[in-house]
A and B are shown apart, each in its own frame.
Chain A
Amino acid sequence: MTIPPATALSRSSGIRASTGVALVGALLVWVALLGPLLALLAHLTPRSVVSALRQPGAFQPLEVSVLASLIALAVILLLGTPLAYLMARGRLPFPRLWEVGVILPLLTPPLVIGLLLIFMVGPSTPIGAALSRIDLTASDTFFALVLAEVYEAVPYYVLGAAAAFASVDPQLEQAAGLLGDGHWRTFRRVTVPLAAPGLATALAVTWARAMGAFGAVLIIAYHPFGLPMQIWVTLQESGLSSALPFALVLLVVALPLPVGAFIWSSHARRRL
């Protein structure tokens, strides 16, 4: 069937119009998301950045944040991956219950997570006492900082990773099994490579969440200062102009990993 030229023209201009609307919508969201960053850049001067970073110990919160977030990421990866995989494959009894368990921390304000962690792992709780036997305290320590970051970030990874695993066709795993691969080998050689783009995106989001964790950190890990706490304390202590350079540092340091992950993920998707 041939389409009359007039109808084709009107359909084509309709598509162009809807593309234009979509582009404006996308732009609105993009610029709105970038708004705070633009405001940050507009209110920073090179002198204020240099002056803030020349303060003694200015880079210590950066080191603390990066190290704590890397450890938190490793813990989340190690413990969250099996849960995400089992959730994705529906191999857990009462699956909705597991999902609710993952979503609940996401719905709980981070400050409240911190308050509840006091009751759960504070020094005088049974878990706190067990931790103290191995010289760990979940209050005002580096360990407490990692713990707070893990709690704030883990749901983002588990949900993202579960979606990535769910996108892998189970028949491919079954085919690998028929060819003689065991569960672990199939997971390593078939499932993970196919889910890798999604896993990379999940890890990127989790990293960003861990680096920016603040609510639970404020309650259980006031010390040692990571970057978000340094920003808050500097704001209180010396005002906005001294605090904003640290916000820039946080963004500059935290950004490469997610950007790298998104680029790699995009290339990997094209290869699949």
Chain B
Amino acid sequence: MNWERRRLSAIFLVTASALVSVSVAPAAAATGSTGLANLASAGSLQLLLDRYLGPAFVRASGDRYQNQSAGSQGLAQEIVAGELSPNVFLPIGSAAMRLLEPRFTRWAVRFAASPLVVAYYPRGPHAGRLKQISQGKLPLKDLFTLMARPGFKLGRTDPALDPQGQGFVEMVHLAERYLGVSPVTANADLGGASASSQIFSETGLDASLQAGQLDAASAYLPQAVQLGMPYISLPPKINFGDPRDSPIYARATLTLATGQVVHGSLLDLEVSELRVGGDPGAGNAFIRFLLGSRARGILTRRGYTLLSPTLLGRRAAAPGWIRALTQKR
């Protein structure tokens, strides 16, 4: 009996040690699949990529495609932590790409911009005035007055995590400077002391606006188009969508809860191939497709502002065909 108990204990210990070592051991080196364009992309690009660009790429190249979309900053953090191993990274705004340099990449191509707009619910109590503003029948400054009214339900994403969330706050500050919005109104636009009640996850924000639980929300222009929501366009000086106004955007600053000071920057779409993600051939092929005429046609139709491809970072580190295709910054 004693022998039996010892035998069971031995089985227990051997199995437990085997399982523990399996669960705690670091993951084996990533094994990339041949012919797989494995993307990590900004959350707002998911529909564009999965419904339009991804299938078009698969048809054109014969390679396989998979994409994970989430907040750009969060994805970059997951790549740094080794949780994700994509071979193509496609964030909005340059901050997330900078997190991966120089370990995962030394270059990126800027190829489009995603200007900020204010989307609104078409049957809400303020929809009439918002529509008039969108049509230019009322001055844009009225938008900021309206958003500051008590009871106006405005939503935006988290500035700590999302370039759009940062861009919206910076946009309101730029509106003070360039549209003559008063600081009091600007502060009220951003919720004043109860600012947190305006902040939603990206998914929650879209759903709340579409369900009519918000009067208006921050959005990228293509996002508003894809959601089928009406929107108010903002002038290039404050919409973070025109590279010529980059010096103006940089004047807007925002201090995050962590104490980090963030400067406004162009809300651009950047792409780079990462050194961690398996098959470089398919990643390369996807970027080539993305910068080609067919993908640019899709981008235009979905509301993105096309920019001449510009190589950022270390020019010498980029593949030759990208150097040939892109302008110098």
Chain A contact residues, CB within 8 Å of chain B = 16, 19-20, 23-24, 27-28, 31-32, 34-36, 38-39, 42, 111, 114-115, 118-119, 122-125, 128, 137, 139-141, 218-220, 222-224, 233, 235-241
**A140 to B197, Cβ gap below 8 A?**
yes
B199 contacts which of A118, A222, A241 (Cβ < 8 Å)? A222
Q: CA A239 – CA B161 in complex, angstroms?
A: 11
Further 10 A-B residue pairs, CB within 8 A, beyond A31-B23, A39-B24: A19-B8, A23-B8, A27-B16, A32-B19, A114-B204, A118-B207, A218-B204, A237-B74, A239-B78, A240-B81
Chain A residue numbers with a CB within 8 Å of B83 are 240
Closest chain A residue, CB of each to CB of B157: A222
Q: Which of B55-86 contact A (CB under 8 A)?
A: 70-71, 73-74, 77-78, 80-81, 83
**When each residue 233-263 of chain B gets 1 if its CB lies under 8 Å from chain A and 0 otherwise, what string results?**
0000000000000000000000000100000
- Supply 10 A–B pairs (Cβ within 8 Å), ascending by A: A35-B23, A115-B203, A124-B213, A139-B213, A140-B196, A222-B200, A236-B74, A237-B77, A237-B160, A239-B80
Chain B contact residues, CB within 8 Å of chain A = 4, 7-8, 11-12, 15-16, 19-20, 22-24, 70-71, 73-74, 77-78, 80-81, 83, 124, 153, 158, 160-161, 196-201, 203-204, 207-208, 211-213, 258
**B20 to A219, Cβ gap below 8 A?**
no
**A224 to B158, Cβ gap below 8 A?**
no
**A219 to B201, Cβ gap below 8 A?**
yes
User: What is the distance, in angstroms, from A45's C-beta to the closest C-beta of chain B?
Assistant: 14
Interface of B, secondary structure class, is helix
User: What is the distance, in angstroms, from B19's C-beta to the closest C-beta of chain A?
Assistant: 4
Closest chain B residue, CB of each to CB of A138: B213
Contact A236/B71 with A39-B24, A124-B212 known, Cβ cut-off 8 Å: yes
**B16 to A16, Cβ gap below 8 A?**
no
**A219 to B8, Cβ gap below 8 A?**
no
Q: CA A233 – CA B11 in complex, angstroms?
A: 42
Q: CA A185 – CA B108 in complex, angstroms?
A: 74
List the 8 closest A-B pairs by CB distance, nearest first: A236-B74, A122-B213, A35-B23, A240-B81, A31-B19, A223-B196, A239-B77, A219-B204
